[in-house]
Amino acid sequence: MKHKPVKTHFRWRKRRILLWIAVILFIFLIPAIVMSVYVFHHVGYMGVESEKYLLQDVYEPKDFSLNAVEHTIRTGDGEELWCSEVACDDPQGVILYLSDLREPSVTYFYGHAAWMQKKGFTSFLLEVRAHGESTGHKLGLGCAEVEDVRSLVQYIKGMDEYRNLPIIVQGVGLGGTIALNAVGAIPEVDACIAMSPWAGADTQLTLLMKKYYVPGFIRNIEKPILHQALRILYGKEAADQNDPKVQIRNAGEKPVLVIASLRDPHVPVENSRILQEEAPDAEFWLRDSEDHYVVKDNDLVHVEQDQEYCTYVSGFLFKVIRQR
């Protein structure tokens, strides 16, 4: 009877051990490490669209026949944020606009600002930390940017013309996530409109794994690991509290509108369904669309061409004014 050489048997056992180590590293460590590495950079905009990123323009107020005043907002932790104010005569409210994780720049919301100026609202376009003209080299993933909104809200409340006006925060993608966190965490924020928001960075990443057919048992293992990575990156309190699932509940009776597209290719609509379970009294509008930026054909610049969107959003805003 022949036996395998001892060396061959040892090599096979060694390969099996290395394979299992690789599998364990992939499941338990690699996604969290990749996420940690990914957040340490600054998002800039090229000024022209590329094959990979289509919404890379940087607009100016004059492109929309607007006058605007630029402000520098300083946060408590030392960041300097770019902000643009588009005022209107005798405003009845103030809207803060926030953009997405990688694109577009918040200047695409000048289209909204022009529309809102006609409706009697002043707009502030805020470039959150680590984006555009704002400082920072660490993306907040929704955990850190509440302080950016808080700093801007305090700045606005110090301006006599806006002191007693309602403040509504509106954002898309990451901006929608920040808007939800802000309405729950900041008492001076009166309402929010969240477009295609995440139900938390860890939830969004887990849902993307599902979209790409990562097995359920791996997703279940990954989610707490990803959340622990957020705690390490931003601190336990920030990661646990600055979570839309928490803050949409904390919003209480404040008006909250969540808008999402049923076939969004970037933010699975399950994010909004999870949020709806947490706050069934909030208002949800799920559009039969694949437009990530919610507006028809993702055309934030010409927002007024989407009459259905404009009618719905303006109706919500005026409801906020009446309820205040």
Give the Cα separation of 99 and 310 in Å (integer). 18
What order do you get walking across the sheet with 191-195 strand by strand?
Answer: 69-74, 80-86, 121-127, 93-98, 167-172, 191-195, 256-261, 283-287
Look up residue 245 and give its amino acid: K
- What is the fold of 45-199+243-323? Rossmann fold (3.40.50)
Question: Domain residues of the chain, as ranges?
Answer: 1-38+201-234, 45-199+243-323
Global pTM value:
0.90
Q: What is the pLDDT along the chain (324 residues), one digit of tens a residue?
A: 555 555 555 566 667 666 656 555 555 566 666 666 679 989 999 876 666 777 889 999 999 999 999 999 999 999 999 999 999 999 999 999 999 999 999 999 999 999 999 999 999 999 999 999 999 999 999 999 999 999 999 999 999 999 999 999 999 999 999 999 999 999 999 999 999 999 999 999 899 988 888 888 778 888 888 888 899 889 999 999 999 999 999 999 999 999 999 999 999 999 999 999 999 999 999 999 999 999 999 999 999 999 999 999 999 999 999 887
Look up residue 204 and give its amino acid: Q
